[in-house]
Chains A and B, each alone.
Chain A
Amino acid sequence: MQGKRRYIILFLIYKNLQLKYKHSVLGFLWSLLHPFMYLLIFLAIFSAAFSTTENYPLYVLSGLVFWIYFAGATGQLCNVFIKNTHLIKSLNLPKIIYPLTELGSELVSFLLGLIPFMVLMCFLGMHITFNLLYIIPVILLFSIFLFSVGLILGSLNVFFRDVGILWNTISPALFYLSPIAYAFKLVPERYKFIVKYNPLYHFLELVRNVLWQNQPPDMHYVGRCLLITSVTAILAFLIYSKTRNGFISNL
Chain B
Amino acid sequence: MDPVIKLNNVSVSYLQNRKGVHSIKDFVLKASFISPFKKHRVLHNIDLEINKGDSVGILGPNGSGKSTLMRTIAGIIKPDEGFLKVGVRVSPLLALGAGIELELSGYENMRIALALSGNYNKTTRKEMIQKVTDFAELTNEQLMMPAKMYSTGMLARLAFSSVMTCQPELLMIDEVLAVGDKGFQIKCMNRIHEIIKNGATLLFISHSPNEVKEICTRGICLKEGKKIYDGSSDRAANVYTKLF
**Which residues of A are interface residues toward B (Cβ below 8 A)?**
4, 7-8, 11-12, 15, 18-19, 22-23, 86-92, 160-163, 166, 245-246, 248-250
Do B15 and A87 have beta carbons less than 8 Å apart? Answer: no
Q: Nearest chain-B residue to A160 (Cβ)?
A: B24
Question: Which positions 70-116 of chain B face chain A at CB distance < 8 Å?
Answer: 71, 74-78, 90, 92-95, 97-101, 103-104, 108, 111-112, 115-116
13 contacts between A and B (CB under 8 A): A8-B118, A12-B112, A15-B108, A19-B101, A22-B104, A86-B95, A88-B76, A89-B95, A160-B23, A245-B78, A246-B37, A248-B71, A248-B76
CA distance A8 to B14 in the complex (A): 28
Do B23 and A19 have beta carbons less than 8 Å apart? Answer: no
Do B115 and A7 have beta carbons less than 8 Å apart? Answer: yes
**Which residues of B are interface residues toward A (Cβ below 8 A)?**
14-17, 22-25, 27, 37, 40, 71, 74-78, 90, 92-95, 97-101, 103-104, 108, 111-112, 115-116, 118, 120-121
Q: Nearest chain-B residue to A91 (Cβ)?
A: B92
Do A11 and B112 have beta carbons less than 8 Å apart? Answer: yes
**Interface secondary structure of A, over-half rule:** helix
A88 contact set on B, CB distance < 8 A: 76
Min C-beta distance of A139 to chain B, whole Å: 27
Do A90 and B76 have beta carbons less than 8 Å apart? Answer: yes
Q: Nearest chain-B residue to A250 (Cβ)?
A: B15
Across the interface, B99 reaches (CB within 8 A) one of A18, A22, A90, A161, namely A90
A89 contact set on B, CB distance < 8 A: 71, 76, 93, 95, 98
Q: A11-B112, A246-B15, A248-B71 are in contact. Are A162 and B25 (CB under 8 A)?
A: yes
Q: A11-B112, A89-B98, A249-B15 are in contact. Are A19 and B76 (CB under 8 A)?
A: no
Do B76 and A161 have beta carbons less than 8 Å apart? Answer: no
Do B27 and A11 have beta carbons less than 8 Å apart? Answer: no
B40 contact set on A, CB distance < 8 A: 249
A12 contact set on B, CB distance < 8 A: 112
Q: Nearest chain-B residue to A245 (Cβ)?
A: B78
Across the interface, A87 reaches (CB within 8 A) one of B22, B25, B90, B98, namely B98
CA distance A23 to B103 in the complex (A): 8
B71 contact set on A, CB distance < 8 A: 89, 248
B78 contact set on A, CB distance < 8 A: 245
Q: A22-B104, A89-B76 are in contact. Are A162 and B115 (CB under 8 A)?
A: no
CA distance A198 to B93 in the complex (A): 44
Min C-beta distance of B24 to chain A, whole Å: 5
Q: A86-B97, A90-B98 are in contact. Are A160 and B74 (CB under 8 A)?
A: no
A162 contact set on B, CB distance < 8 A: 23-25
Q: A22-B104, A161-B23 are in contact. Are A86 and B98 (CB under 8 A)?
A: yes
Which of the listed residues B15, B94, B97 has the most CB atoms from chain A within 10 Å of its own CB?
B15
CA distance A7 to B120 in the complex (A): 8
Closest 7 A/B residue pairs (Cβ): A249-B14, A90-B93, A90-B98, A11-B115, A92-B75, A246-B15, A162-B23
CA distance A162 to B27 in the complex (A): 11
Do B118 and A4 have beta carbons less than 8 Å apart? Answer: yes
Do A15 and B15 have beta carbons less than 8 Å apart? Answer: no
